[in-house]
Every structure is written in structure tokens, then in C-alpha cells.
Amino acid sequence: MKFHLISTWKMSLEGSRKAYETLKNQNDLAEALINGVVNVEDDETVHSVGYGGLPAKDGKVYLDAAYMNGTNMSFGAVSALENIKNPIKVAYHLSKRNLNCYLTGEGASEYAINEGFEQYQMLSTTAYDKWLNRSQELMHDTVCFIGKVDDDMAVAVSTSGLFMKEKGRVGDSPNIGSGYYVDSLIGGCAATGVGENIMRGCLSFKVVMLIKQGIYVQEACKITMNEHIAYLKERNIAYDDISIIALDANGKFGAATSKKAFPFVYADDQLEPRIMVCFNDGKDIWVDQATDEWLATYQGD
């Protein structure tokens, strides 16, 4: 059995190991991606996803998540979900429906409760303290997993969104085409960063369209990022925090970032999960393995 797995940020390493084990033992793509995302959602030290996620301006934690099956093109999403332990499980559950598969706010929370999903007070003490102190750090690191098992591909994303976001703010993550997109016959892509600026370019769908045109996955990521940075620059819109990962139908992966460096995790049936880094020096965008030296100095998620 052949599989490939790519996920955003160093913080997804443990989740990637969980997903990797699931694939080795159960060969279940959906289960693997959900286990990967749940591991990050449940990690209190990650302040941009699930439990421990930083609250909005009003002090409450509102969560977004989405799941898409690239074979039957079903998708499910939630935004502004409250007090549910694992948003990704709700999104996956919703992806089983043809209609009403993207729910928001109270409707999403009530659906999750009625369907028996575990309720949980998602605001951790640390997150609450950070909120009290209005820590200036902008947290918007979304966890995204893209996986491929044999001919099937899927993508799963989860985030608490922009720190100090306004109540009801929706970013790119639950929005198909911007935060995520996958077609098992072509490939998949997912994004992390400032959602509003990702949405202006529908980055995930654009990368998949370029792959469909025959452009190699890493080149598709690079072209999309460079065009988007230029496009935002021309309009004086911030472009300093946008990153994407992609995986094509041949199992080749790619990444691009507008940051100096963006770590992500890759694994396949031949290779245990390892941290990779996408670099952007303003001239070129390329991917390399994370060296111990680099990891020793890296501060972010």
C-alpha cells in the first residue's frame, strides 16, 4: 500500500506520526487525517488550533475546520464553532452530506451537540492569560493535512483563526478553494496565514488548477505564491504571512511561502514523518530538509 502525507508547521510532527501509524496499520485515509488534526487540536500548547486556541476579542474561542474528499468531491466545514472538542470531526461528519454540509455559528454548534460530539470548554488558562495581556503576537497558524492513499486524496484543516479576531470573523480555512481544495485525479493544496489575504487569491484552488494544466506541483506553488505576492504588493495589501502546501496525484509534494521560512512535515510509505522547510529569500522559493541547526534556532510553531 502506497501513501503520502504532508502537513503544515512543525507543530504537526506528532500528529503526522499519529496519521502515519494509522495509515501503516489501518490504511484508512480519513481516519489518518482526522487523527493527525485531532492531535494538534488537543495540544494545549498550540495557540492557534482547537483547545488552547486563542480567543476572539470577546474572550470566547470560535473554531473553524474543513474536510474534503478528493475522490467523490464531498466536503464539510464549520466556522465560528463553540465549545466542541474536535471541530475536524464535525467537519468530516458534515462531509457525508450533499447539502447543508457547511454550517456556521450557533447552527454548527447545535448540530454538533445534537449529533453527540464531545462538548468542551475550549478556552485554556494560558490562552485566557494571553488574551488578558493582549499579547501582540498574531496567531493564525492553521493545521492542514493533505493525504493520498493509493488513488484517493483528501485534505483536513483546523484553526482558531486570527488572534483577537472579531466575533463571527471567518477566515480562509472553512472556505473551499481558499483554505483547501483537493481532486484525487489532480492533486490538493491547503493554506495557512492571514486568511483575508489568502482568500483574495483563492490560493488552494489556483494551485490545483495549475497542476491540472501540467505544471509540476512545486512550480505550481511557487508561481501561485509569487503572483499573489506581486498582486497584493501592487494593491498595498500585507503579504508577509501566507504559506501553502500541496500534494499531486503522483504523490509529489510542493510548498511555498511569503515568509522567510515555513516548516512543514512530510511522510510516505517509505519515509517516516520528517520536518521540511520552505524558504523564500525574496528571489527564489525552495524546499529543503530542516537541519538540526535550523531547528535549534526556529522559534515559531
Using the minimum distance from each CB to a copy of itself, give the nearer residue, 207 or 275. Answer: 207
Using the minimum distance from each CB to a copy of itself, give the nearer residue, 66 or 287. Answer: 66
User: How many other CB atoms are found less than 10 A from the CB of residue 78?
Assistant: 32
Q: How far is the CB of 63 from a copy of itself (least distance, A)?
A: 13
Using the minimum distance from each CB to a copy of itself, give the nearer residue, 77 or 154. Answer: 77
Rg (CA), the chain: 17
Catalytic entry in 22, 142, 159, 192: 142
155 forms bridges with which residues in the sheet?
A: 68, 146
Annotated catalytic residue 8: no
Rounded (10°) angle between helices 203-212 and 217-234 = 140
Nearest alpha carbon to residue 22 among 12, 38, 33: 33
Using the minimum distance from each CB to a copy of itself, give the nearer residue, 33 or 108. Answer: 108
Residues lying near a copy of itself in the complex (CB under 8 A) are found at 72-73, 75, 77, 79-80, 98-108, 110-111, 162, 165-171, 174-178, 181, 194, 196, 199-200, 202, 205-206, 209, 231-232, 235, 237-238
Using the minimum distance from each CB to a copy of itself, give the nearer residue, 169 or 259. Answer: 169
Q: How far is the CB of 146 from a copy of itself (least distance, A)?
A: 17
CB 193 within 8 A of CB 258: yes
Q: How far is the CB of 10 from a copy of itself (least distance, A)?
A: 25
Determine the Cα–Cα distance for residues 96 and 291; give it in Å rounded to an integer: 41
Beta strands in 173-270 (DSSP E): 180-183, 187-193, 242-248, 253-257, 261-268
Residue 83, judged by CB atoms within 10 A of its CB (0-12, 13-18, 19+), counts as: middle
CB 33 within 8 A of CB 156: yes
Q: How far is the CB of 286 from a copy of itself (least distance, A)?
A: 25
Q: Is 212 helix (H, G, I), strand (E, B) or coil?
A: helix
Give me the phi and psi of 204, to 5 degrees please.
-65, -45
Q: How far is the CB of 199 from a copy of itself (least distance, A)?
A: 5
Using the minimum distance from each CB to a copy of itself, give the nearer residue, 30 or 199. Answer: 199
Determine the Cα–Cα distance for residues 279 and 276; give it in Å rounded to an integer: 10
19 CB-near residues (< 8 Å, 6+ apart): 5, 7, 32, 33, 35, 36, 145, 147, 267
Please identify every residue annotated as catalytic. Answer: 142
